[in-house]
Structure 1
Amino acid sequence: MSASTSGPASGPSGPTRRSGLRRAAVESVSGLPRQFWWLWTSTLINRLGAFVATFLALYLTVERGYSASYAGLVAALHGLGGVISSVGAGVMADRLGRRPTMLIAQLSTAASVALLGFMTDPVAIALVAGLVGMASNASRPAVQAMMADIVAPKDRVRAFSLNYWAINLGFAISSTAAGLIAEHGYLALFLGEAALVLACALVVYRKLPESRPTTNAQGGADGGAGGPAPAPVSMRTVLHDGRFMTVVGLNLLLALLFQQAYVSMPVAMGQDGFSSTDFGLVIGLNGVLVVLLQIPVTRFIEHRSPALLLIGSALLAGYGFGLTALAGSVAMYAVAVTVWTLGEIINSPTQMGLVVRLSPLHGRGRYQGMYALSWSAASLTAPLLGGVVIDHYGADALWGGCAVVGTMAAVGYGVLLRGLSGRPGAGAVARGTADAGASAGAGASEPVA
């Protein structure tokens, strides 16, 4: 081909480029069931009201005048509540159904958050904060299980990515709004979150039918024509599923890394002489990048090897936090945040797709509950681990340890996912059943009274 022939086609015109971007945007959101979008809307509304957990420490130390140690204790109890509810809510999602579990969790969250705003006794505040942690984390397994129920296997990574995008968009808006609302009194934050959680529950009640798979009279699942009854799934089944529990353990390692952004990084920046404004700018970059990049990055990774994606995301997370040891300026901290945020963007939808793939159809709630437990456990233990390492060995040792942990997780994913598609035995059957059930969609759901 001559140079003259190739020259005019070297770059797309403006209208062509815009048309391509518009087509990519449409493809990113098309083909998903209507029920998914109501679930997505409920998630966004819920995260728009996520005021209290973000500003709880400031409320206790500034508004109430309690010590930093007491604020840390309350935060730990909030995390402990999430640990307790994760598994129990997963069992409820399988036994009672996804929709009732979400409604119970959301109504309990609204009531406990509003109650917390009126508590003045330190013991009462700590106890109610634990209840808030239990209630606010209880809907997570049901939401993820319902998403797996109603979205076809080929679209799950995209669906989980869109849901994660809604979480971060809501958080970015709520964090900004909460600061303005707090100027008029912290009680408004508690009551505002309670009101938005009630709005979320209203969406679930009015727009989301139950999606839990049912067993027909012939023993088949979801209206299938006969066949053996599905094997019962208990928490013992989950704990004895070695491959899935390894996924939970590897996710715990990564969750411990990501939690350092909100626990250890502000401490390290303070020790280096940076202000709270500097930290706000740096950590705000994480939310901006997720909102801007989550959907285009997901389009790029959607049909690529989950093993390579999880290995790469673990390395980006580990070495992104490792770069913090070299940070001597706000710009370098921003570079480190950018690296581990890319790991977060890749990991979240890919990891959720793997969890669903390994979960049996009639045990999705329990499996999602155990997966959620890894995040709750990380939120409880990360502040303690980070603080101990910084106090005894310094911040640079912590960031170097993060790089080691990221490498360990990458190696673990490589070993775990080798030959996953050919896994013999019950796990492979479970994955096939799960995918078949998701393909059936909401039409296989039990009727809503």
Structure 2
Amino acid sequence: MHLHYKFIAFGLFMRLLSKISSFYSIFTNAPLATSVALSLFFLVGFADGVLMPFFAMWAEKDAGVTAEYIGLLLACYSAGELLATPFVGGIADRLGRRPVLLISTLGVGLGFALLYFVHGVFASAIVLISIGVFESVLHPTISAVIADSIPADQNRYYFSVARVMSNAGHVAGPAVGSLLALYSLGAVFLGSAVATLLGALIIFFCLPETLIKKDINGDEEEDESLSGILPAFRDARLSGLLMWSMCLQISSGWLTSVLPLYAVDAGTLTPSQVGLLFTYAATLTVLFQLWVSRVLASVANLWMVIGSGAVLIAAFAALLFSSGIVGLVLGVSLLSLSQMLFGPLLPTLIMSLAPSHARATYLAAASVTADLKDTLGPAAGTFLYGISARLPWFVGMPVALCATLALAFTIRRHERRAASAISSALPE
């Protein structure tokens, strides 16, 4: 049995080496702007991975924050994003991708560095809110750069690569953070700052402007170029897509927020082993996301959504019937597969709806729903867990089923309208 595990580890290592060589070819064949954007996804994921596992310990031991306020302090980070995005989320459609990304990465990086020096709840909260404000435009604008610089039919593939790069950062980040924490818990913020400021340097020296401004007559130009995301939510197609995708992602978020409690309370895993379990899940994405995307490249968006929902329901079922190690590993494996199917699909669908001059605005609207998901998901999941340990999995199955069917119907209706519009435009 021990030898069997060695063979599995060796196989995963060899696959990781092959991925490194394939990433090199992807970067060399992609447009420069796309390569820069993919690098930024890695650095942002790395910066997040360096600090997040150690945030609670730093807050309690170094920043002088009492245990009951740690959760609220961390919420300031997402609160800054959630508050700022409705007002500045689409500003990259007005000012350009390059200046917005440069200001955003500088603001986030300097904010992380400042956290090394601050103490106390109030000062830390102000810095975290500021970081959230600067970060509110970061992910939507990076994704907009990718959409600007590649053909539309390659969106799903390159958004898959972006997920791989982000997850690779989340795998590498905690390892570096562990080394920095040996010196000082606050040093993890300096590690995150260095990674983010390195991204700012890459943007300054390497990123070309990808926004092509088009002339629009009259007041419509000013209205649709607003830095806020209101113009995007006027699109009923986007609103329906985001609403049902948020419901699906809220239910999937219960796995990440509740599973640690479920595993530890059942006596199956220790807290450190839970961390290893989620590292394993992120590694699965790094190793298999591109393979899954290539195999399913010709599968219609509708069936990708249905497949993602079905796999997520299977993950809930695995955890419902077993809190043992087999059920936990199977649950997070199925969750990873579900996210491999749906993760690259959502920005692809959004880009199919967005006008070329409003890509960042539409992606920022999706970012708002992601922030709401990150806020509502853990709260609802832990509330259900407080009633019964298996209730989140039991409730998650019908919620995921309803959200999947509604999202599939929304996509089907949009694709029919698009096909009808194309056929009516063709000459008879």
Residue 164 of structure 2 aligns with which residue?
165
Structure number with greater Rg is 1
Measured against aligned partners, the alpha-carbon deviations of 1:90-121 in whole angstroms (never above 9, x if no partner) come to 32111111111111111110111111221112
Which of residues 15, 36, 39 is equivalent to 1:38?
36
Kept in 2, the 8 Å contact 1:157–1:350? The answer is yes
Q: Is the 8 A contact 1:286 1:337 kept in 2?
A: yes
Task: Tell me whether 1:264 sits opposite 2:263 in the alignment.
Answer: no
Cα separation, 1, equivalents of 2:251 and 2:66? 26
Which residue of structure 1 aligns with residue 6 of structure 2?
none
Identical-pair percentage: 22
Q: CA deviation at 1:64?
A: 4.5
Offset, 1:56 = 1.4
Is 1:283 aligned to residue 275 of structure 2?
no
Superposed, 1:333-348 pairs within 5 Å as 333-348=328-343
Rounded Cα–Cα distance in structure 2 between residues aligned with 1:68 and 1:382: 22
In structure 1, what is the equivalent of residue 323 of structure 2? 328
Query: Where does structure 1 lack aligned partners over 5 or more consecutive residues?
Result: 1-17, 221-227, 433-449
1:388 aligned residue (369, 383, 386)? 383
Within 5 Å, which residues of 2 pair with 1:77-96?
77-96=76-95
TM-score norm. by structure 2 comes to 0.86
The structure-2 alpha-carbon separation of the partners of 1:65 and 1:319, relative to structure 1 and needing over 3 Å to count, comes to farther
User: Matched residues in 1 for 2:31 and 2:353: separation?
Assistant: 23
Question: With structure 1 as the length reference, what TM-score do the two structures score?
Answer: 0.82
1:235-273, Cα deviation, whole Å (9 max, x unpaired): 443222111111111221233234334421111222212
1:418 lines up with 2:407 in the alignment: no
Greater displacement, 366-375 / 81-90: 81-90
Alignment match, 2:127: 128
Give 1:276 shift.
0.9
- The within-5 A match list for 1:243-322 is 243-273=237-267, 274-322=269-317
- Summarize the Cα distance change of 1:382–1:61 in structure 2 as closer, same or farther, 3 Å threshold: farther
**Taking structure 1 as reference, are residues 230 and 120 closer, same or farther at Cα in structure 2, changes over 3 Å only?**
closer
Q: Which residue of 2 aligns with 1:49?
A: 47
Alpha carbons 1:319, 1:402 under 8 Å: kept: no
Q: Give CA deviations for 1:149-177 in whole Å, capped at 9, x if unaligned.
A: 11101211111111110000011000121
Q: Post-superposition shift, 1:345?
A: 0.6
Offset of residue 65 of structure 1: 5.8
Any conservation in 2 of the 1:282–1:330 contact (CA below 8 Å)? no
Give 1:303 shift.
Answer: 2.2
400, 403, 407: which one pairs with 2:401?
A: 407
Quick one: which amino acid aligns to residue 245 of structure 2?
Answer: N
How many angstroms apart in 2 are the aligned matches of 1:328 and 1:115?
Answer: 42
For the Cα contact (< 8 Å) 1:312–1:410, is it kept in 2? no
The SS at the match of 2:90 is: helix
- Measure, in 1, the Cα distance between the counterparts of 2:318 and 2:368: 28
Q: CA deviation at 1:201?
A: 0.6
Amino acid at match of 2:179: L
Give the number of equivalent residue pairs. 399
Indicate how the Cα distance of structure 1 residues 317 and 86 shifts in structure 2: closer, same or farther if over 3 A, else same: farther
Q: What's 2:182 paired with?
A: 183
Gaps of 5+ in 2: 1-14
Offset at residue 26 of structure 1 (A): 8.7
Distance 1:229 1:181 in 2: 49
User: For the residues of structure 1 that align with 2:90 and 2:158, how far apart are their CA atoms?
Assistant: 23
Partner in structure 2 of residue 142 of structure 1: 141
Cα RMSD of the aligned pairs, angstroms, is 2.8
Q: Which amino acid aligns with 2:165?
A: A
Q: Report the AA paired with residue 45 of structure 1.
A: L
Q: 1:174 to 1:123 in 2, by over 3 A?
A: same
- Residue 111 of structure 1 aligns with an amino acid whose one-letter code is L
C-alpha distance in 2 between matches for 1:289 and 1:267: 22
2:270 is equivalent to residue 238 of structure 1: no
